[in-house]
Amino acid sequence: MPEAYITYSERETEELAFKLAENGKIKYGDIIALYGELGAGKTAFTRGLAGYFAPECRVTSPTFALVNQYGNIFHFDMYRINSEDDLLSVGFYDYLDGAGEKLIIIEWFDKIEGFFDEETVKIEIIKLNENERRIYAYTRN
C-alpha cells in the first residue's frame, strides 16, 4: 500500500520529497520512478530530493539533455524516449553501474518501464487542479 499525500504548492511538493529523504524512505541505491502528466511536479519532487542529498546543486529539467547530474544524483527525463534502442543509444544502462551509491531519478518512467526490470521506488503525482496534487509514494519502510 502506498502512502498518499496532498500538496497545495510546488514548495510543498519539494518539502515532501525532502522529508521522504530525511526519514530514510528514499536513499542512495534507490531508483525513483516518477509518474505524472506534463506539469505534474516531477521536477519539483526531484528538486526536493536534491535539496537533501546535494543542497549546493540547482535542479533543472533534463528534457533536452536527457540526464543531469548533481553530486551522486542522476536525474533523467525520458519524455523523448520511445524505444529500447533510444535508451541504448543514450547509454542509459551504463548509468546503472554502481547504482548502490547513486540516487537515480527518472521522470516519465512509464516511457521505459517495458525495457527495465530493476526494482524501483514508484512515486505517482496526480494533478487534481491548478495547485493541488495527490502524491502516492510506494516506499518500502
Binding-site ranges for ligand ATP (CB under 6 A): 7-10, 12-13, 36, 38-44, 61, 107, 131, 133
CB-nearer residue toward ligand ATP: 1 or 38 = 38
CB-nearer residue toward ligand ATP: 29 or 131 = 131
Q: Out of Mg ion, ligand ATP, none, which partner does residue 124 contact, by CB within 5 to 8 A per kind? A: none
Q: Out of ligand ATP, Mg ion, none, which partner does residue 20 contact, by CB within 5 to 8 A per kind? A: none
Q: Is residue 68 within the footprint of Mg ion (CB under 5 A)?
A: no
Residues that bind Mg ion (rule: CB under 5 A) add up to a total of: 4
109: CB partners within 8 A, 6+ apart: 33, 34, 35, 78, 120, 122
Alpha helices in 10-82 (DSSP H): 10-22, 42-53
DSSP 58: P
Query: Cβ 97 to ligand ATP, closest distance in Å?
Result: 26
Q: Is residue 13 within the footprint of Mg ion (CB under 5 A)?
A: no
Q: In what order do the strands lie in the sheet with 133-138?
A: 3-7, 133-138, 121-127, 31-35, 103-107, 73-77, 67-70
